[in-house]
Structure 1
Amino acid sequence: MRTLLIINASASLAHSHSRTLAQQYEAQWRRVNPDGRVLHRDLGANPPPHLDEATFAAFYTPADERSEAQRVQLTLSDSLIEELKAADDLVIAAPMYNFSIPTPLKAWFDHICRVGVTFRYGSNGPEGLLPRKHAVLLLSRGGRYEEGASMDHQAPYLRQLLNFIGIEEVEVVAAQGMAGNADAGMAEAKAKVDALFGA
């Protein structure tokens, strides 16, 4: 059974363009995968805590040496990683905030990027441990940013983080120019979502 994990990161729960794109993607995915399973993680509604000293200490303590308190400290991180491992397909739906990503999404990555768990260091440098997954970034931006634009710290950053943990198949759909003409931006992005499924 194929599994899709949808990560929503917008702080706006009711009027979010990236959430709208995620809903459309899910509908198309369910059409193609009628027996599939969809998992949802809403970072806007339930943001993970930012890392603190105790969590860092637990990360870098060998598993067989962790105290009970440290095991409890890692409960969320462990569950987020297991959720990601279970997914064949990953959607990250996120707006651009100040040229980058919402802080809850950064915190999510901080919890799932763990040495020895989702990546490791080898003779050729870091190696991702979550290969053979497909990811789609559903993004919204107030302005327009072409591929490689110097002020776009959203798509390149997300792609780099996913590549770092082994997810190399990453597609990007961005609703652009939302501060000027949201209707046009959404129409263009929705057409691209449908095109991913040959619709």
Structure 2
Amino acid sequence: MSTLLHIDSSPLYGRSVSRELTGAFVSQWKASNPDGKVVDRDLNATQIPPINADWVGAIFTPEEAHTPEQKQLLALSDSLIAELQQTDEYVIGVPMHNFSVPSVLKLWIDQIARVGKTFSYADGTPKGLILGKKATFIIATGGIYDAQTQMASLNFVEPYLRSLFGFLGLTDATFLTAGGTMALNHGQDRDAFLAPHLQAVQTHAVATQEGQA
């Protein structure tokens, strides 16, 4: 049975472009995988504390020596990493915030980018441990930051996510971007704006299930 991890990070909910597009991906994925399982993770509905010195100390303490307090500190991280390990495919909605990823997504990344769990230095060099997975990142940006545009150098979302997940071992990643969402605040028809992006997402969702992407 195929499993999909569906992550959203936009705080806008019903007005969110990235949430609408990840929802379209999930719907198409379910149609292609009627017996599949979807694990939903809404980062805005998940209490994720910033890491602190105690948390760092816990991850560098051998598991067999963990105190009850350290086990509690790492419980959320363990749960979030298990979601990555136990699912086959990910779809992650990412609105651009200040040229980078939302703070809630960064908090999640800090919990799942964990030595000995999702990457290792066992042989003296870094090795990703999230292997055999594929991911679709659906990004929504207020402006246009496509390659070769004047604003391209300000887009730190895709380079960061590609580098981070590549470091963790996930190299089968597709990035779909809906740029120019700011137009929706200035009278652009939402359905007309979303139509090509919904089509691109649905086409990609079908292709991934057919082994074509």
Structure 1 length normalisation: TM-score?
0.94
Q: 1:185 & 1:140 partners in 2: Cα distance?
A: 12
Relative to total residues, which structure has the larger helix share, 1 or 2? 2
Give the corresponding residue for 1:186.
194
- 1:30-41 equivalences in 2 (<5 Å): 30-41=30-41
Tell me, yes or no, if the aligned pair for 1:13 and 1:44 is still in contact at 8 Å: no
Q: Which ranges in structure 2 are unaligned for 5 or more consecutive residues? A: 208-213
Compute the displacement of 1:36 (Å).
0.2
Compute the displacement of 1:49 (Å).
1.1
What residue identity is the alignment partner of 1:161?
L
Equivalent pairs, count: 199
Give the corresponding residue for 1:114.
114
- 1:22-61 equivalences in 2 (<5 Å): 22-61=22-61
Give the corresponding residue for 1:72.
72
Match of 1:162 among 162, 165, 178: 165
Secondary structure class of the residue paired with 1:93? strand
Deviations 1:59-87 (A, max 9, x none): 11111111111011110000000011011
What residue identity is the alignment partner of 1:131?
L
Give the corresponding residue for 2:100.
100
Compute the displacement of 1:188 (Å).
2.5
What residue identity is the alignment partner of 1:19?
R
Deviations 1:10-57 (A, max 9, x none): 111221111000110001000111100000000022241111111111
Q: 1:99 & 1:185 partners in 2: Cα distance?
A: 21
What residue identity is the alignment partner of 2:195?
A
Secondary structure class of the residue paired with 2:97? coil
> Cα RMSD between the aligned structures?
1.7
Give the corresponding residue for 2:87.
87
Give the corresponding residue for 1:14.
14
Q: 1:74 & 1:139 partners in 2: Cα distance?
A: 29
Compute the displacement of 1:122 (Å).
4.9
Give the corresponding residue for 2:175.
172
Segments of 4+ in structure 1 off by > 2 A?
A: 122-125, 180-188
- 1:132-171 equivalences in 2 (<5 Å): 132-147=132-147, 149-171=152-174
Tell which deviates more after alignment, 141-150 or 28-37. Answer: 141-150
Q: Which ranges in structure 1 are unaligned for 5 or more consecutive residues? A: none
Tell which deviates more after alignment, 16-25 or 176-185. Answer: 176-185
Tell me, yes or no, if the aligned pair for 1:176 and 1:185 is still in contact at 8 Å: no
Q: 1:51 & 1:107 partners in 2: Cα distance?
A: 8
Q: 1:106 & 1:73 partners in 2: Cα distance?
A: 18
What is the aligned-residue identity percentage? 39
Deviations 1:162-183 (A, max 9, x none): 1111111000111111112554
Give the corresponding residue for 2:211.
none
Task: Assess, with a 3 A threshold, how the Cα gap between structure 1 residues 163 and 21 changes in structure 2: closer, same or farther.
Answer: same
Structure 2 length normalisation: TM-score?
0.88
